[in-house]
């Protein structure tokens, strides 16, 4: 298999004071790279990651490298774990985020994103970051999805989580609940559904994705008695897609939609806001779920949890979500490549 056909997946180690370093070390202690026959390159401060791994009793099998080109010329064959150094901006105390390291955290994202954009990496997988430690440096910082969209020059992106045999995308993401209704327009829903249809086909090989759409209000508005968003915005948008032959259905009451009898013949659900769709999915799969950014020109996946500052420095954590995120990125890349 050629280098171009088997580019490495990059894993950013996230907030240095959180559990990202240990999660990456646990990943590099596993057999996943060998099983996937894929090189996995972890980005972070090499001294920090190796020190934290040693203190936690983790024995990663990574090889230090100076550039991504070193992966191509390594003697590990088509797969292995590598550690690419990116130096901390400021000293790090385990469990205590420091805004002075915000440039370091964002620099990890920039390195991975740019490598994917310029064709030297297949995908990026992100360990959790601490938004409160970044916002003093980057006012208005909202998270990975929005930051990477800006980095990639994309205006419209969609957050989708997968787990528990569900895929749940969001019409709105990290905004106050009081702002949700105004943010849901025919144009925004149209663009969200277009991205979902395109990426479900490209990355999961679904020729005609079936998407179920929730309502915004209780009981999907109760025919207008509990709100008109379904009548004025959501239903007309759905009908426009149906008129083009797409299998988009709804709006359905969110409190009854997430049942196996409704989900079994669907490919994804579009929920109207963050805490409408994600509690159900995380209840079914927390610690094994994957956060996916749709609408980017690159493959990006992430864990379904936060930095768990209280667990940093120990081995008392589950790396399942990071492993699933790597697995998902690998298969998304394969599916995209097969479609080309």
DSSP 140-195: T---HHHHHHHHHT-S--EEEEEETTEEEEESS-SS-GGGHHHH--HHHHHHHHHH
Grouping H, G, I as helix, E, B as strand and the rest as coil, residue 83 is strand
Domains 1-153+296-334 and 155-295 share a fold: yes
Q: What is the pLDDT of residue 79?
A: 79
Whole-number pLDDT of residue 75: 63
Superfamily designation of domain 155-295: Isopropylmalate Dehydrogenase (3.40.718.10)
All structural domains of the chain with their residue ranges: 1-153+296-334, 155-295
pLDDT at 174: 85
Please state the φ and ψ torsions of residue 232, each to the nearest 5 degrees. Answer: -85, -25
pLDDT at 77: 60
How many whole angstroms separate alpha carbon 89 and alpha carbon 102? 8
Residue 19's closest CA among 246, 264, 265, 321?
A: 321
Q: 1-153+296-334, which class in CATH?
A: alpha beta
Token look-up 């759905």 returns: 238
Q: Give the per-residue pLDDT at 42.
A: 98
**Residue 335 and residue 201: Cα distance in Å, rounded?**
9
Q: CA-CA distances (angstroms) from residue 197 to 58, 201, 269?
A: 41, 6, 11
CA distance 300 to 258: 26
Side-chain-facing half-sphere of 204: CA atoms under 13 Å: 16
Those residues of the chain that have pLDDT short of 70 are: 1-5, 73-78
- Among 56, 73, 74, smallest CA distance to 19 is for 56
Residues 138-165: tens digit of each pLDDT: 998 988 999 999 999 999 999 999 998 9
User: How are beta strands 158-163 and 80-85 bridged, if at all?
Assistant: unpaired
Tell me what pLDDT residue 3 has.
39
User: What's the pLDDT at 78?
Assistant: 60
Characterize the bridge pairing of strands 268-271 and 158-163.
unpaired
């Amino acid at each position: 298999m050629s280098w171009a056909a088997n580019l490495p997946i990059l894993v950013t180690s996230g907030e240095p004071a959180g559990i990202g370093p240990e999660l990456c070390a646990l990943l590099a202690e596993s057999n996943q790279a060998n099983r996937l026959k894929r090189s996995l390159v972890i980005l972070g401060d090499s001294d920090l990651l190796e020190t934290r791994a040693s203190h936690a009793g983790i024995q990663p099998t990574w090889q230090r490298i100076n550039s991504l080109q070193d992966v191509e010329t390594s003697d590990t064959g088509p797969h292995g774990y590598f550690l690419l150094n990116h130096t901390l901006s400021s000293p790090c105390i385990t469990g205590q985020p420091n805004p002075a390291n915000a440039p370091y955290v964002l620099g990890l994202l920039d390195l991975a994103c740019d490598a994917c954009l310029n064709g030297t990496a297949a995908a990026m997988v992100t360990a959790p970051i601490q938004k409160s430690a970044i916002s003093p440096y980057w006012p208005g910082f909202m998270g990975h999805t929005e930051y990477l969209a800006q980095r990639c020059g994309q205006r419209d992106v969609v957050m989708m989580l997968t787990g528990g045999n569900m895929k749940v995308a969001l019409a709105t993401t990290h905004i106050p609940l009081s702002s949700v209704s105004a943010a849901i327009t025919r144009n925004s829903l149209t663009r969200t559904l277009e991205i979902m249809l395109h990426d479900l086909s490209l990355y999961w090989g679904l020729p005609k994705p079936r998407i179920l759409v929730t309502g915004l209000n209780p009981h999907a508005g109760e025919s207008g008695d509990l709100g008109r968003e379904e009548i004025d915005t959501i239903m007309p948008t759905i009908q426009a897609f149906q008129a083009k032959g797409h299998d988009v259905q709804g709006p359905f009451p969110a409190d009854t939609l997430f049942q196996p009898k409704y989900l079994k013949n669907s490919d994804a659900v579009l929920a109207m806001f963050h805490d409408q769709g994600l509690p159900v999915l995380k209840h079914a799969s927390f610690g094994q779920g994957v956060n996916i950014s749709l609408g980017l020109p690159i493959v990006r996946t992430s864990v379904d949890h936060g930095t768990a500052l209280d667990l940093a420095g120990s081995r008392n954590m589950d790396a399942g979500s990071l492993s699933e995120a790597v697995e998902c990125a690998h298969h998304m890349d394969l599916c995209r490549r097969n479609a080309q």
